[in-house]
Structure 1
Amino acid sequence: MTTDKAYEQQVNAFTLDVPETYNFAKQVDVYAELNPSQLAVHWENEAGDILQLTYGELKAASNKWANALQTIGLTRGDRVIVLLPRSLEAYIVYLGLIKAGVVVMPGSEMLRPKDIEYRANHAGATGVIAFGNITSEVDQVRTQCPTLTKFIIVGSEKEGWTSYESLIADQSSEYEAVATRTDEMAFLSYTSGTTGGPKGVVHTHAWPYAHQKIAATYWFDVQAGEMAWATAGPGWAKWIWSPFVSILGKGGTAFVYAGRFNPETYLNLLAKYPIAVLCSTPTEYRLMAKVDNMERFQPKALRSACSAGEPLNREVIDAFHKHLGITVRDGYGQTENSLLVGNFVGLDVRPGSMGRPSPGVNVSIIDEDGNVVQSGTVGDIAVHKDAPILFKGYLNDEVRTGRAFRGDWYITGDQGKVDEDGYIWFEGRADDIIISSGYTIGPFEVEDALVQHADVAECAAVASPDPDRGHIVKAFVVLKRPELASEQKVRELQEHVKNLTAPYKYPRVIEFVESLPKTTSGKIRRVELRAAERDKAR
């Protein structure tokens, strides 16, 4: 039997019967009752400090947190912003919120006051739970967020904040998870758009159920009892995908490294620990593949590796296969869905291809009229509206929700083509969204920050090809006084953007120009600027 035939059988045999009620945390609890002493989370930092949590301890701690939520008045349906780093507490807090039916709003530690204010007010968030290092960002906008009434700090104490540790100290370790309906909101993640503020992506309790049945089973592939390392940090939809739902949902052990990325450190950790499954970003894989004598770092137990966030180039796949004997399997998905296309376990990997559509998910290449195109023809990568992993719309935004669909198809914003064997190949973005090191960045957010500087007349932000990050943010800036253009002004504008919005959005390159290309109606033609950047890179 060829691997492609095995894939066809999987697809043909796949069914998904979503129950009326489901709570992911309850599923984890059931596993914990059967395997209380199994390691659930292994945490380590740069200094070599280690913290661990068994499934039994995870169940008890998240039960205490769920009980604490009741005592402070956070109840089913409330929305809570979570601003936590890679930590044991992240797993406990997420599980406890889900148990209580409270909606999780993931947020990065890199968010700035403006980002937090927008999310809190747009969603009508009731509470925020944060590590001490980001509480000052929240404090700057507390008075501008009238719905925020609960402020919980983790790991320290601060005036105006309630200590997480004190809240759970005297709570019962017994709690029965809420029987949430699968059509209730579970996660509210924010993702960048081409215009306006970030979009609130609504996922219901059916989403983790479907994600486990599809992506976690056929692509991520962690088995019960195995140690798995997914490098995404809390605050991103990808953290919910792999480190959280895929690992805990399959009874695996989550390996968590809280240090800064260093390619040799990552390779050393793979050689030191029995990590069976690795899920990392293309940027991390690219930099690991550049390490001299990579074969020195033979993994202790690695059998499977996958990548997501942006296309992975063939040279990296070849390097891992040659030096470590591992084939890195690329995958494609978005905040609005889950894994749409992937190089699944057992499927022939064609380097450079996204792979084939996920079982149970109708992904096609369509034209501007919503018709499926022939193989080899470039078009929009689209997902049928009935896909079980598709989001339920953008919160409070019927207009942008409507624009995301073309007839019965959700339009991803990416373009691609399908070959005669059903493999999909990425061709590029169809819109102005910038994807850099796996971060999704809207040009509006960068431009909005730049034009708030007194010296900027107008600007445009676009994706510029980069060998390590895939793309970087490049800004074309028209100064009110052109004579001010200098390297010092570049650094000044970069710091200005970092101070106003999450630092990963800042333009790594700024080019001063006299004018910007525009349509007859005055709209900036970013497409023209992007094309010029692509031509320079060739």
Structure 2
Amino acid sequence: MTRQISPTSNQAQPDHYEELYRDFRWEVPADFNIAQACCHRWANDPATANNIAVYFEDAEGNTATLSYTELQQKANQLSQLLSRQGVQRGDVVACILPQRPETAATMMACLQLGAIAMPLSFLFGPEALEYRLQHSEAVALIVDQSGAEAFQQIRPACPTVKTVVALDCSLENALDWHQHMDAMPQTFSAAITKATDPAILIYTSGTTGAPKGALLPQSAIIGNLTGFVASQNWFPQERDVFWSPADWAWTGGLMDALLPTLYFGKPIVGYQGRFSADTAFYLMQKYAVTNTFLFPTALKMMMKACPQPREQYKLSLRAIMSAGEAVGDTVFGWCQTALGVTPNEMFGQTEMNYIVGNSVQQWPAKPGSMGRPYPGHRVSVIDDDGNEVGINQSGEVAMQRLDIHGTPDPVFFLGYWKNPEATRNKFTGDWCRTGDLALRDADGYLWYQGRADDMFKAAGYRIGPSEIENCLVKHPAVVNVAVVPKPDKERGNLVKAYIVLSAGYRGDDKLVAELQAHVRGKLAPYEYPKEIEFIDALPMTTTGKVQRRVLRLREEERSKETN
């Protein structure tokens, strides 16, 4: 789907960026389906049919493998089951599953059916799930024990979810995965879809209002490929095996790991369990992992736990992509010396993913830089009016609908689900705004300067304050609240809440713990406020809007004073 660019060698090379960027052209077929590209074509080729698609292991040591043929058969059976339950082309099918083979099969089943797959994190609490299931009007759900309890709590509030398939768990009025799948044929006539047809719905947290559902087309995976190939030092190569701890329900795990690995017919390692440095090194050694996507926070944990990993583990790593926050000089240097790999930092969003980054074997990486626009993507820094700013001037990172040759960029999202106003606001003319500020140096590298709004990242997760604030305000002790990032050396930022208390409540440690538990039980664990400060009144504008920026600056100043 993209014109092949061949690496010159495995050693560090001179700067080939301008040539690669100038000569690249998109080749997007009119008819295209992610499931066909990521599974069906490999399963139907005798030379690749028995190749491993997924290696699986869980925290208890249980293991499994799934070939491309087996993955296709499971996908066919699930497509048959869903279609017999009335799921039609264009319907939204939700999935609450961790990294396991059935997750890959579910994605393939939905996509070849022509349905819209909506992956949901098993970390979501009941409130977060309820909103997404209601707003998307999902008609079916595939869930295992990791999400069963949360769904059961809000099931009566989600009447559109007519079909529930329960995997390794017990739910009332649900179809048992194993029982019903075994009764289904292992063949299925896949839908013919256009490259521009909707394929995947992923909800992103916002700074104001509820989370927005970004609707991705079938072509989005094609748009990801230049960044994926480049950041992974020209994936695929003969013995490549991919692993990342990133949740397959998120853009980082789905579009930066699972789908592109399967697109190239290579194996990916799925691990069901908590991340730890020891687990990371264990998995990389056992499965001879060559390529990975690791958040800077994960790299920091690995660096501290095992400063000299190659003295303890036999590693096969040849490429590391990192995103979510700046890697920093210390971790960058550790990757080079201790792992023998220079990390390629990357930047993107769910709406247009994998658009800027590095590829150290093809152009030099500057530690701390977001990198350069990947081939096929026209990315720049613009002002409020949509004009490109000068060198070393701060502006908002934005991407043009068309590449430098005037060809539509296939990576773009189709729009926000049932929210045309938010879709319009995302654009200034043909520039799609990211909300992230950066400056561009004379070599074309982008340098992150912060958020244009109140969004922030903590431990690699994209955090929108609105959902957390809405959750806290529901507690009777809270009159008003503002959520801001608190700078943290380990995680980049911590989630901090400034809270105005209701009359009769005392701001003590007991209440702090109660409020944290309140959020943790309803949203994702990484969203609960690690720190709470009680305040008499929040800073407000004359029109009654909370000035989160004032509180952000306060936290930044405090951080400077303590460092």
Deviations 1:250-309 (A, max 9, x none): 111101222211112212332333111111111101111112442434442111111122
The answer as to 2:231 corresponding to 1:219 is yes
Shift of 1:311: 2.0
Deviations 1:437-480 (A, max 9, x none): 22122111111111111111111000111111111110011112
Secondary structure of 1:179's match?
coil
- Cα–Cα, structure 1 residues 509 and 499, in superposed 2: closer, same or farther, change >3 Å? same
Q: In the aligned structure 2, how far is the partner of 1:278 from the partner of 1:112?
A: 28
Aligned to 2:253: 239
Q: Of the candidates 213, 219, 229, which is equivalent to residue 206 of structure 1?
A: 219
Q: In the aligned structure 2, how far is the partner of 1:127 from the partner of 1:273?
A: 34
TM-score (norm 2): 0.92
Secondary structure of 1:315's match?
helix
Aligned to 1:281: 295
Aligned to 1:66: 79
Q: In the aligned structure 2, how far is the partner of 1:110 from the partner of 1:125?
A: 19
Q: Of the candidates 148, 165, 169, which is equivalent to residue 182 of structure 2?
A: 169
Shift of 1:356: 0.4
Aligned to 1:320: 335
Q: Is the 8 A contact 2:459 2:492 kept in 1?
A: yes
The answer as to 2:452 corresponding to 1:420 is no
Q: Is the 8 A contact 1:434 1:473 kept in 2?
A: no
The answer for unaligned runs of 5 or more in structure 2 is 1-7, 403-408
Q: Is the 8 A contact 2:145 2:167 kept in 1?
A: yes
Shift of 1:500: 2.5
Q: Of the candidates 135, 138, 146, which is equivalent to residue 125 of structure 1?
A: 138
Secondary structure of 1:138's match?
helix
Q: Of the candidates 318, 342, 348, which is equivalent to residue 303 of structure 1?
A: 318
Deviations 1:94-152 (A, max 9, x none): 11111111100110112222222211221221111111342232222222223221111
The answer as to 2:393 corresponding to 1:381 is no
Secondary structure of 2:86's match?
coil
Aligned to 1:252: 266
Aligned pairs for 1:308-457 within 5 A: 308-346=323-361, 347-386=363-402, 387-457=409-479
- Cα–Cα, structure 1 residues 156 and 357, in superposed 2: closer, same or farther, change >3 Å? same
Q: Is the 8 A contact 1:100 1:177 kept in 2?
A: yes
Aligned to 2:98: 85
- Cα–Cα, structure 1 residues 67 and 450, in superposed 2: closer, same or farther, change >3 Å? same
Q: Of the candidates 543, 549, 555, which is equivalent to residue 527 of structure 1?
A: 549
The answer as to 2:21 corresponding to 1:11 is yes
Shift of 1:3: 4.5
Q: Is the 8 A contact 2:128 2:523 kept in 1?
A: yes
Secondary structure of 1:417's match?
strand
Aligned to 1:184: 197
Q: Of the candidates 53, 77, 89, which is equivalent to residue 40 of structure 1?
A: 53
- Cα–Cα, structure 1 residues 292 and 5, in superposed 2: closer, same or farther, change >3 Å? closer
Q: Is the 8 A contact 2:247 2:254 kept in 1?
A: no
Q: Is the 8 A contact 2:342 2:360 kept in 1?
A: no
Shift of 1:483: 6.2
- Cα–Cα, structure 1 residues 273 and 145, in superposed 2: closer, same or farther, change >3 Å? closer
Secondary structure of 2:521's match?
helix
- Count residues in correspondence: 537
Deviations 1:185-206 (A, max 9, x none): 1001000111111001010111
Q: Is the 8 A contact 1:83 1:134 kept in 2?
A: yes
Identity of aligned residues (%): 33
Shift of 1:435: 1.2
Shift of 1:167: 2.0
Aligned to 1:23: 33
Deviations 1:389-426 (A, max 9, x none): 12111111122112211222111111001110111111
Aligned to 2:508: 486
Secondary structure of 1:275's match?
coil
Shift of 1:312: 1.6
TM-score (norm 1): 0.96
Shift of 1:48: 2.3
After TM superposition, the structure 1 stretch with the greater mean CA deviation from structure 2, 95-104 or 28-37, is 28-37
Letter in 2 for 1:279: F
Q: In the aligned structure 2, how far is the partner of 1:55 from the partner of 1:340?
A: 29
Shift of 1:531: 1.1
Letter in 2 for 1:397: N
Q: Which runs of 4+ in 1 moved over 3 A?
A: 1-5
The answer as to 2:109 corresponding to 1:96 is yes
Aligned pairs for 1:126-165 within 5 A: 126-165=139-178
Aligned-residue CA RMSD in angstroms?
1.7
Q: Is the 8 A contact 2:323 2:347 kept in 1?
A: yes
Letter in 2 for 1:184: D
Letter in 2 for 1:380: E
Letter in 1 for 2:244: A
- Cα–Cα, structure 1 residues 78 and 526, in superposed 2: closer, same or farther, change >3 Å? same
- Cα–Cα, structure 1 residues 422 and 29, in superposed 2: closer, same or farther, change >3 Å? same
Q: Is the 8 A contact 1:267 1:297 kept in 2?
A: no
Letter in 2 for 1:30: R
Q: In the aligned structure 2, how far is the partner of 1:438 from the partner of 1:480?
A: 33
Letter in 2 for 1:342: G
Letter in 2 for 1:216: F
Letter in 2 for 1:47: E
Aligned to 2:534: 512
Letter in 1 for 2:411: I
Q: Is the 8 A contact 2:93 2:117 kept in 1?
A: yes
Q: Is the 8 A contact 1:38 1:225 kept in 2?
A: no
Q: In the aligned structure 1, how far is the partner of 2:83 from the partner of 2:239?
A: 33
Shift of 1:42: 0.7
